[in-house]
Amino acid sequence: MSQVYSLPLAELIKQTLPTNQWKQIWLKRTDYTLVILSLGLFVPIIFFDADQLIVEIIVAVDTILLMLVAGLRYYLLPAFPSKVLFIPKRFGWGWAINPRNPLGLVLNILVFIGVIVMLLVAIFST
């Protein structure tokens, strides 16, 4: 990398250090938020009967918040039109939709909205 930009490696590291520190702080905060929201899924079940509607609503809201924070954690990336739509999966076999492609970002958002709608329909249909 330092040869591409004709800069010494120490200079590149010094310039990217504040950005990397900010990213680490952001990732640590979202990790803590994910842990707290995950624990919030079990608290209503412990203190209330599982048949009550309030438990279903609390679990649904907590699940939606958990999905939002996880989405921010992994998909808060700038979109670039030059990126391909399908990329090889990082774990396992197959292909995944690239959220850095504008169409891929729209597809990811539509899937997220679809999951939330199905969750709400499943909860309130009983």
Every domain of the chain and the residues it spans: 2-124
Please state the pTM of the whole predicted model: 0.54
pLDDT tens figures, 54-91: 777 777 788 788 777 777 766 665 666 777 888 888 78
- Pair of tokens at residue 71: 């989405």
Helix (H, G, I), strand (E, B) or coil at 87: strand
User: What are the residues whose beta carbons fall under 8 Å from the beta carbon of 46, sequence distance 6 or more?
Assistant: none
Name the more confident of 33 and 49.
33
| pLDDT at 30 exceeding the cut of 70 | yes
| pLDDT at 5 exceeding the cut of 60 | no
